[in-house]
Amino acid sequence: MSLLEIRNLKVEFDTAKGPFKALDGVDYTVDPGEVLAIVGESGSGKSVAMLAMMGLLPNTATITADTMTFEGLDLQNLTAKDRRKVIGKDISMIFQEPIASLNPCFTVGFQLGETLKTHTDLKGRQIKDKVVDLMTSVGIPDPAGRLNAFPHQMSGGQCQRVMIAMAIACSPKLLIADEPTTALDVTIQKQILDLLVKLQQDSGMGLIMITHDMGVVAETADRVIVQYKGRKMEEADVLSLFESPQNPYTKALLSALPENATGDRLPTVSDFAEAGGF
């Protein structure tokens, strides 16, 4: 059985200019232990799908889906209370801006402890030990000393490590990473990606990487979904996607990478749009 299964997901937003279709009938499945990359440009609806699944969209959004199940549990008809039991424990998420994702008023040790308190039965001393364990596992140097650090005293990369620690605190079955390295430097990006992949392989959880960066996809994914303007363009395993892309949009994206440039000019998506008709 797949871990997450979503069929025919549609999301619509009410705006000043009338309804806006952010997602138009997209399917997602994730198996346990799989890394799925959802790749697309801004406006492709790549983040919207996961936010909709977690019930994090504002109430101007209308969400419909034929199926939306997590381990067989129907997510659509959950009460807010039941939803909270699943989200944060079995499904967790990390975001693009690590420093903004942490509460600046509390120490990182305290914030990690809060997560554990909410979702586990651990008490006092145990929590502290577990927090130190978690911080060690995400590679924060001197974890016991960093317990009392505030988010602003740490670098972006360190904060993202704390976010990851918080996300894996309850050993989730599915981790969603929404552009986890976009705000970080290249060398830090490498470390964070390696960490995510290592954690994923060690624990066997499902991992969804939402990104716009083909390089990140190539370095992490097993399977890839390419989205454009709220629709799925192509779904393939990572090797065949890069080796022989089927969809004209995917071809366009790959050839727009500067490292794949052959001639004087970079081909752009619009060059392909005329030929491909998407």
Partner 1 sequence: MSEDVILKVRDVYRTYDIKGGLFKKASTLTAVKGVSLDVERGTTLAVVGESGCGKSTLARMLTMIDAQTSGTIEIDGLPIDISKTGISKEMRQTVQIVFQNPYGSLNPRQKIGHVLEEPLLLNTDMPPAERQDLALQMLQKVGLQPEHYGRYPHMFSGGQRQRIAIARAIMMKPKLLVLDEPVSALDLSVQAQILNLLADLQDEMGLTYVFISHDLSVVRYIADKVMVMYFGEVVEYGTRDDVFNNPQHEYTKTLFAATPRADVDSIRKRLAAKAA
Partner 2 sequence: MTETSPATKADTAKLEEESRSAAKARLAEFWYYFSQNKGAVVGLVVFVLLVLMAVFASLIAPHNPDVQYRDSFLVPPVWQEGGKTEFLLGTDAVGRDILSRLIYGAQFSLFIGVVVVTIALVGGITIGLVAGYMRGAVDTFIMRVMDIILAFPSLLLALVLVAILGPGLINAMIAIAIVLQPHFVRLTRAAVLAERSRDYVVAARVAGAGHFRLMFKTILPNCLAPLIVQATLSFSNAILDAAALGFLGMGAQPPTPEWGTMLAEAREFILRAWWVVTFPGLAILITVLAINLVGDGLRDALDPKLKRS
Q: Which residues bind partner 2 (CB under 8 A)?
A: 13-16, 20, 60
- CB of 16: closest distance to partner 2 in angstroms? 4
- Which C-beta is closer to partner 1: that of 55 or that of 215? 215
Given the complex with partner 2, which of 58 and 263 has the nearer CB atom? Answer: 58
| Element containing residue 115 per DSSP (H, E) | helix 108-119
Interacting residue with partner 1 among 122, 149, 254, 278 (CB under 8 A): 254
Residue from 26, 36, 50, 214 touching partner 1 (CB under 8 A): that is: 214
Q: What distances in angstroms separate CA 80 from CA 18, 63, 234, one per listed residue?
A: 28, 15, 34
Q: Which does 262 bind (CB under 5 to 8 A by kind): partner 1, partner 2, none?
A: none
Are residues 22 and 11 in contact, defined by beta-carbon separation less than 8 angstroms? yes
Q: Is 226 in the site for partner 1 (CB under 8 A)?
A: no
The Cα–Cα gap between 134 and 204 comes to 17
Smaller CB distance to partner 2: residue 59 or 270? 59
239 binds partner 1 (CB under 8 A): yes
**198 lies in the site for partner 1, by CB under 8 A:** no
- Give yes or no for residue 106 binding partner 1 (CB under 8 A): no
Nearer to partner 2, 58 or 258 (CB): 58
CB 228 within 8 A of CB 44: yes
Cβ proximity to partner 1, 115 vs 220, nearer residue? 220
The residue among 73 and 261 lying less far from partner 1, judged by its C-beta, is 261
Query: Minimum distance from CB of 56 to partner 1 (Å)?
Result: 23
Which one of 141, 145, 190, 204 is in contact with partner 1 (CB under 8 A)? 190
CA distances from 135 to 141, 155, 160, 239 (A): 8, 15, 11, 34
Nearer to partner 2, 61 or 256 (CB): 61
- Mapping DSSP to helix (H, G, I), strand (E, B) and coil, where does residue 184 land? coil
Query: Cα-Cα-Cα-Cα dihedral of 43, 234, 56, 72, to 10°?
Result: 170
Q: How far is the CB of 115 from partner 2 (least distance, A)?
A: 27
Least spacing, CB of residue 214 vs partner 1, in Å: 5
3-class SS at 192?
Answer: helix
> Closest approach of Cβ 274 to partner 1, in Å?
13
d(CA 233, CA 226): 5
The tokens for 246 are 């089927």
* C-alpha closest to that of 162 among 109, 86, 119, 118: 109
* Contact with partner 1 (CB under 8 A) among 14, 41, 74, 142: 41
Provide φ and ψ at 177, rounded to 5°: -115, 110
Whether 39 contacts 225, CB under 8 Å:
yes
Interaction site with partner 1 (CB under 8 A): 41-42, 185-190, 193, 201, 212-219, 238-239, 242-243, 252-254, 256-261, 264-270
